[in-house]
C-alpha cells in the first residue's frame, strides 16, 4: 500500500476520562486496518524505592506473568493469534505496555490491558522467575558486553547527586534478589492505579468505538489514590566534574560529557533549541564537530550529540541533559584536547550563531525525524500518551515540528552559551581488553 507521509501531519485526538481516573486518548487513522493499544503508567525508574535499583524494570516483567483471570502466556497467545506483536518498556519517567495488531483484534487487546491493570498475578514463583530473567538481561546487555550501559549508568551519578536521578535504573542484581511479593503488591497498589495511567488507541478505530471499549473493560476497575510525582529537581553544576573507569571488555577508549538543559515540560521551545544545537554539532551532514574532529583532524572515529542520558529525546522530565559522546582514535591527542576543540566550536556558535542555511537544515531534520518516529503506530501511540501525561495535552505533539522551526539563531546562541566547562560532567572509559 502506498501513501504520502506529510510533514507535520496533525492527528485527530479524542480524549476521555473514566470515573476511576483512567485517561483515554483515541487517535483515529484509517490508512490501514491496523491499530495500536498502549497503556502508559506514570512511573519509571526514577520512582522506584531506594535499595531496589531496577524494581520498576522488574515489575514491568511481572506484568506479563498472567492475572487473576488468565494464566501466564495467555496475553502473548491472544495477541499473536490475532497476528499482532506486543512488548513493554521501562523508562526513567514512565512504563509502557503496547500491542500492535489488526484492528479486528482490538477488543482482545483492550480486554488484556484492563485485565492486568485489574489484578496481575504477583506470586512468589513469578517473582523469583522474573528476577532470574532480569538478571540474565542485565548480564547480557551490560556486564558481559563492551561499553555496557555507557554512558547512562556511569554518567548519571556524576552529573546528578540524588538517588532518584543517579542510580542504576536498569537494575542491580544483588538488590533485586532481596525483593518480596509484598513489595511488588505495594508497588502495584501505589503506581498502577487507573488514575496514574493513560490508555491510547491509535490507528484504525473510531473515537466512539475506542471510548466504548475503554468504558466496557476498564470502568469497573476501582479507583485508587494517585501518587504524587517525585521531587527530582537538582541544582545545576557550578564546577566541572570528571571521573573515569576501566571497561575490561572494551577494545578502544570513549568518553561522554553532559550539560543540564531546560525542563522539556516547562520550556519546550527552549529545550528544542538544544536539539537544534545537537544537530549543528554532530549531524552527519551539518555537524561542525563531525567535520573538524572526524574528517579533518581525525582525532575521533565518531562523535555524537543528543538529548537525554538514555537517548530518549521526548518523554522525559526535568532534570535531563545534553550528552556528547566520542571515540578517540588510538595515538590521538586524548580527551582534554578533544574537549578543548569541542569548547571552541561551541563558543563559535555562542558568539556568531548558525548560518541561516544551517538553521533551516537542522529544523527540517527535526521535522523529518518526527515523521519517521510517528509514522509507526507503536511510536505514535507511545508519544501521544507520554505527551498527554507529561505536558497535560497530547496535541502538543502536533505542534512540535512547527515549534522547532520557530527556533532562531539567537536561541541557538543562548543555548550554546550555556554549555560551559564548569557546567559539564565528563566520564572517561579506558579500555581493558587486550589490543
Q: Which residue has the cell 574532529?
A: 293
Of the candidates 289, 217, 303, 272, which has an alpha carbon nearest to the alpha carbon of residue 399? 272
Residue found by looking up cell 526513567 in the block: 92
CA distance 227 to 194: 11
* β 424-431/241-247 pair status: parallel
Sign of CA dihedral 262, 264, 269, 271: positive
Question: Residues 249-266: pLDDT tens digits?
Answer: 999 999 999 999 999 999
What is the torsional sign of CA 390, 391, 393, 394?
A: negative
Q: Give the whole-angstrom CA distance, residue 108 versus residue 67.
A: 15
What mean pLDDT do residues 135-139 have?
95
pLDDT confidence band for 1 (50 / 70 / 90): very low
Averaged pLDDT score across all residues of the chain: 94
Whether a cis peptide bond, with omega within 30° of 0, leads into 384 is no
**CB 397, CB 202: distance < 8 Å:** no
Strand 95-102 to 85-90 pairing: antiparallel
Burial of 282 (0-12, 13-18, 19+ CB in 10 A): buried
- Which of the four pLDDT bands, split at 50, 70 and 90, describes residue 8? low
**Euclidean distance between the first and final Cα of the chain, in Å?**
50
Q: Is the pLDDT of residue 358 over 50?
A: yes
Task: Spell out the long-range contacts of 260-264 with Cβ–Cβ below 8 A and sequence spacing 24 or more.
Answer: 260/159, 260/236, 260/319, 260/320, 260/321, 260/322, 260/423, 261/307, 261/320, 261/321, 261/322, 261/415, 261/418, 262/318, 263/317, 263/318, 263/319, 263/320, 264/314, 264/316, 264/317, 264/318, 264/320, 264/390
**pLDDT at residue 4 above 60?**
no
pLDDT-derived band at 2 (thresholds 50, 70, 90) equals: very low
Tens of pLDDT, residues 104-134: 999 999 999 999 999 999 999 999 999 999 9
| pLDDT of 291 over the 60 cut | yes
CA distance 83 to 90: 24
State yes or no: pLDDT of 5 exceeds 70.
Answer: no
Confidence at residue 231, expressed as pLDDT on a 0 to 100 scale = 73
Q: Can you list the domains of the chain with their CATH numbers?
A: 14-218 (3.30.830.10), 241-431 (3.30.830.10)
- Whether residue 408 contacts residue 47, with contact meaning beta carbons closer than 8 Å, is answered with no
Q: Is the pLDDT of residue 285 over 50?
A: yes
Q: How far apart are CA 40 and CA 86, in angstroms?
A: 14
Please tell me the pTM assigned to this model.
Answer: 0.94
211 and 27 Cβ atoms separated by less than 8 Å: no
Query: Percentage of the chain with pLDDT > 90?
Result: 92
> Using CA atoms, how far apart are residues 299 and 334, in angstroms rounded to an integer?
8
Instruction: Kindly state the average pLDDT of the residues 208-221.
Output: 98
Q: Which of 194, 216, 211, 226 is nearest to 20 (CA)?
A: 194
Where residue 10 falls among pLDDT bands split at 50, 70, 90?
confident
* Helix or strand (DSSP H, E) at 257: strand 254-261
DSSP notation for 330-347: TTS--HHHHHHHHHHHHH
Give the helix, strand, coil percentages of the chain, each rounded to 5: 45, 20, 35
Can you tell me the distance from the alpha carbon of 361 to that of 357, in angstroms, rounded to the nearest whole number? 6
Whether cis (ω within 30° of 0) applies to the bond prior to 133 is: no
Rounded Cα gap, residues 316 and 155, in angstroms: 17
pLDDT, tens digit (0-9, with 9 covering 90-100), for 225-242: 999 887 777 889 999 999
Check: CB of residue 204 under 8 Å from CB of residue 29. yes
Give the number of other CB atoms < 10 A from CB of residue 222.
8
Burial class (CB in 10 A: 0-12, 13-18, 19+), 426: buried
Cα within 13 Å of Cα(388), Cβ side: 27
Identify whether the C-beta of residue 265 lies closer than 8 Å to the C-beta of residue 319.
Answer: no
- The mean pLDDT value for 384-391 works out to 96
Ranking 47-51, 326-330, 339-343 by mean pLDDT, the lowest is 47-51
The arrangement of strands across the sheet holding 85-90 comes to 14-17, 23-28, 197-203, 34-41, 95-102, 85-90
Residue 336, number of CB atoms within 10 A of its CB = 9
The rounded distance, in Å, linking the Cα atoms of 341 and 281 is 12
Q: What is the pLDDT of residues 157-202, one digit of tens each?
A: 999 999 999 999 999 999 999 999 999 999 999 999 999 999 999 9
* Of 217, 163, 151, residue with least CA distance to 50: 163
Amino acid at each position: 500500500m502506498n501513501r504520502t507521509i506529510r510533514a507535520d501531519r496533525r492527528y485527530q485526538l479524542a480524549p476521555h476520562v473514566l470515573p476511576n481516573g483512567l485517561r483515554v486518548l483515541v487517535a483515529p487513522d484509517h490508512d490501514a486496518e491496523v491499530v495500536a493499544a498502549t497503556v502508559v503508567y506514570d512511573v519509571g525508574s526514577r520512582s522506584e524505592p531506594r535499595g531496589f535499583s531496577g524494581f520498576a524494570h522488574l515489575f514491568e516483567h511481572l506484568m506479563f506473568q498472567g492475572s487473576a483471570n488468565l494464566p501466564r502466556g495467555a496475553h502473548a497467545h491472544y495477541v499473536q493469534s490475532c497476528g499482532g506483536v506486543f512488548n513493554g518498556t521501562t523508562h526513567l519517567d514512565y512504563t509502557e505496555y503496547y500491542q500492535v495488531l489488526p484492528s479486528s483484534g482490538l477488543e482482545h487487546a483492550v480486554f488484556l490491558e484492563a485485565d492486568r491493570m485489574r489484578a496481575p498475578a504477583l506470586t512468589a514463583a513469578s517473582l523469583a522467575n522474573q528476577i532470574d530473567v532480569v538478571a540474565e538481561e542485565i548480564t547480557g546487555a551490560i556486564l558481559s558486553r563492551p561499553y555496557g550501559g555507557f554512558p547512562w549508568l556511569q554518567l548519571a551519578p556524576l552529573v546528578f547527586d540524588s538517588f532518584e536521578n543517579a542510580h542504576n535504573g536498569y537494575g542491580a542484581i544483588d538488590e533485586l534478589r532481596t525483593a518480596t511479593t509484598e513489595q511488588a503488591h505495594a508497588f502495584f497498589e501505589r503506581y498502577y492505579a487507573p488514575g496514574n495511567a493513560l490508555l491510547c488507541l491509535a490507528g484504525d478505530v473510531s473515537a466512539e468505538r475506542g471510548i466504548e471499549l475503554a468504558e466496557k473493560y476498564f470502568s469497573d476497575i476501582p479507583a485508587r489514590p494517585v501518587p504524587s510525582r517525585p521531587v527530582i529537581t537538582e541544582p545545576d553544576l557550578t564546577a566541572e566534574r570528571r571521573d573515569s573507569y576501566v571497561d575490561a571488555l572494551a577494545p578502544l577508549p570513549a568518553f561522554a560529557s553532559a550539560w543540564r538543559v531546560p525542563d522539556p515540560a516547562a520550556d519546550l521551545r527552549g529545550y528544542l533549541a538544544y536539539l537544534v544545537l545537537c544537530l549543528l554539532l554532530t549531524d552527519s551532514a551539518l555537524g561542525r564537530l563531525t567535520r573538524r574532529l572526524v574528517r579533518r583532524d581525525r582525532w575521533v572515529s565518531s562523535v555524537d550529540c543528543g538529548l537525554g542520558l538514555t537517548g530518549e529525546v521526548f518523554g522525559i522530565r526535568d532534570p535531563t541533559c545534553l550528552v556528547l559522546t566520542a571515540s578517540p582514535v588510538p595515538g590521538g591527542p586524548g580527551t582534554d584536547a578533544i574537549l578543548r576543540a569541542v569548547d571552541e566550536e561551541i563558543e563559535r556558535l555562542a558568539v556568531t550563531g548558525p548560518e541561516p542555511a544551517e538553521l533551516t537544515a537542522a529544523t527540517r531534520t527535526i521535522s523529518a525525524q518526527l515523521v519517521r518516529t510517528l509514522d509507526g503506530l507503536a511510536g505514535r501511540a507511545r508519544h501521544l500518551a507520554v505527551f498527554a501525561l507529561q505536558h497535560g495535552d497530547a496535541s502538543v505533539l502536533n505542534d512540535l515540528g512547527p515549534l522547532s522551526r520557530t527556533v532562531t539563531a539567537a536561541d541557538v546562541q543562548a543555548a550554546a552559551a550555556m554549555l560551559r566547562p564548569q557546567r559539564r560532567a565528563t566520564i572517561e572509559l579506558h579500555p581493558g581488553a587486550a589490543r
